[in-house]
Amino acid sequence: MISATRRPTLAVVGATGAVGTVMLRILSQRADVWGEIRLVASPRSAGRKLVVRGEEVEVLALSEEVFDGVDVAMFDVPDEVAAHWAPVAAARGVVVVDNSGAFRMDPDVPLVVPEVNGHKVRNRPRGIVANPNCTTLSMIVALGALHAEYGLRELVVSSYQAVSGAGRAGVETLRQQIALVAGTELGTHPGDVRRAVGDNTGPFPEPVALNVVPWAGSLREDGWSSEEMKVRDESRKILGLPRLPVAVTCVRVPVVTTHSLTVHARFQDEVTVDGAREIIATAPGVVLFDNPAAGEFPTPADVVGTDPTWVGRVRRALDDPTALELFVCGDNLRKGAALNTAQIAELLAAELSHGEGR
């Protein structure tokens, strides 16, 4: 329990990364519920100064001691780092909000999207709350609202994923590749883009500039990618539909930040476009932007840097009156990562300030 006069202490672990950088911006923009904010990264970054809430704060190297006196820690680090260090922090009494994939499917770790299942944050036997993957998060707030009204029965999804989903390395790779192909006539003969880019494909298996790559993550059984399995498993867990049929194809596109998805969602009963539009337009955290006659539909170029899930191209399926087709865009570093983590942490801060334990 925190005394009425003390605001909770927050640690941001991975403060120097792609998600961490956006996290510091979000912490500077949102209503400030925190006392001290401690910034943590690898020993490579120790001593660097980063700005949060308008003040320079020195980055500390990750160690057991950095968690002394911390109430809530956000982890924005690779899976293996979170897998080791989140339980270390939790054992020292810290409530961890983890952005990695290390704990999301652990039955003793809630997987939380505040607009959809925020109440789950209170039941955390391991002292860890997981933040979903960015691709799932980019659509799930809108889907959760439609599911609450219509009862979801099946999901068919294709993603168009930004390179920042692969962290700083993904962004640097696209920028370097764009420089290599700029002003050329590449993209007219087989293999010409690949030759121009050479070995410089970074975290991607193929050039991403002037290209689309039907792959994200690592190889899983029967040709599925890890990213595709995450979208299926995490959507099921968040929506509380453990047997929901989900078909996903994840594709990387040359966009810096903001994931897009086409969604075919089938429901229990017949749906109407007007009804769906109303649900989308009134759901918290969702914006309906859907007027093709006026050229209005969401695109990453307009959505990047914003908080909500943007939904356009709302149609009833041509051959199935129980299904809807949607095009959804969400900033993968804001709602897709840092913002959702910040929202979860704020729920925890409110709970801890009201004197309820871990």
Annotated binding residues for NADP(+), written as ranges, equal 16-19, 44-45, 164-165, 332
CA angle 166, 44, 47 (to 5 degrees): 120
Please identify, among the stretches 74-82, 199-207, 267-275, 315-323, the one whose residues bind ligand NAP according to the rule CB under 6 A. 74-82
Pairing of strands 246-252, 55-61: unpaired
Residue 220 structure tokens: 């899983």
Q: What is the DSSP string of 61-104?
A: EP-GGGGTT-SEEEE-S-HHHHHHHHHHHHHTTPEEEE-SSSST
Q: Give the nearer residue to ligand NAP in terms of CB position, either 41 or 303.
A: 41
The answer to the question of residue 167 lying near ligand NAP (CB under 6 A) is yes
Please identify, among the stretches 49-57, 115-123, 149-157, 332-340, the one whose residues bind ligand NAP according to the rule CB under 6 A. 332-340
Q: What is the DSSP string of 209-247?
A: TT--BS--S-B-GGG-BHHHHHHHHHHHHHHT-TT--EE
Q: Give the nearer residue to ligand NAP in terms of CB position, either 21 or 322.
A: 21
The answer to the question of residue 41 lying near ligand NAP (CB under 6 A) is yes
Least separation in angstroms between residue 230's CB and ligand NAP is 10
Please identify, among the stretches 185-193, 218-226, 261-269, 328-336, the one whose residues bind ligand NAP according to the rule CB under 6 A. 328-336
Smallest Cα–Cα separation from 245: which of 149, 135, 153? Answer: 153
3-state SS of 139-171?
Answer: HHHHHHHHHHHHCEEEEEEEEEECHHHHHHHHH
| 1 DSSP 8-state letter | -
Residue 252, strand partner residues: 161, 213
The residue from 147, 250, 259, 329 that is catalytic is: 259
Least separation in angstroms between residue 138's CB and ligand NAP is 9
The answer to the question of residue 202 lying near ligand NAP (CB under 6 A) is no
Is 134 a known active-site residue? yes
The answer to the question of residue 26 lying near ligand NAP (CB under 6 A) is no
Residue 103 structure tokens: 């704990």
Q: Is 84 left (phi over 0), alpha (psi -120 to 50) or beta?
A: alpha
Please tell me the count of residues contacting ligand NAP according to CB under 6 A: 30
Q: What is the DSSP string of 316-350?
A: E-TT-TTEEEEEEEE-TTIIIIIHHHHHHHHHHHH
**What are the distances in angstroms from CA 211 to CA 22, 34, 197, 223, 302?**
27, 43, 12, 21, 21
The residue from 84, 134, 189, 264 that is catalytic is: 134
Q: Give the nearer residue to ligand NAP in terms of CB position, either 76 or 233.
A: 76
CA separation for the pair 65, 68 (Å, rounded): 5
The answer to the question of residue 207 lying near ligand NAP (CB under 6 A) is no
Task: Report the residue from 8, 11, 20, 202 that binds ligand NAP according to the rule CB under 6 A.
Answer: 20
Task: Report the residue from 153, 168, 277, 313 that binds ligand NAP according to the rule CB under 6 A.
Answer: 168
Q: Which residue's structure tokens are 């500390």?
A: 60
CA separation for the pair 236, 136 (Å, rounded): 10
The answer to the question of residue 100 lying near ligand NAP (CB under 6 A) is yes
Least separation in angstroms between residue 159's CB and ligand NAP is 12
Least separation in angstroms between residue 98's CB and ligand NAP is 8
The answer to the question of residue 216 lying near ligand NAP (CB under 6 A) is no
Is 84 a known active-site residue? no
The answer to the question of residue 76 lying near ligand NAP (CB under 6 A) is yes
Catalytic residue annotation: 134, 259
Residues within the interface to ligand NAP (CB under 6 A): 14-20, 41-42, 44-45, 62, 76-79, 81, 99-101, 133-134, 164-165, 167-168, 332-333, 336-337
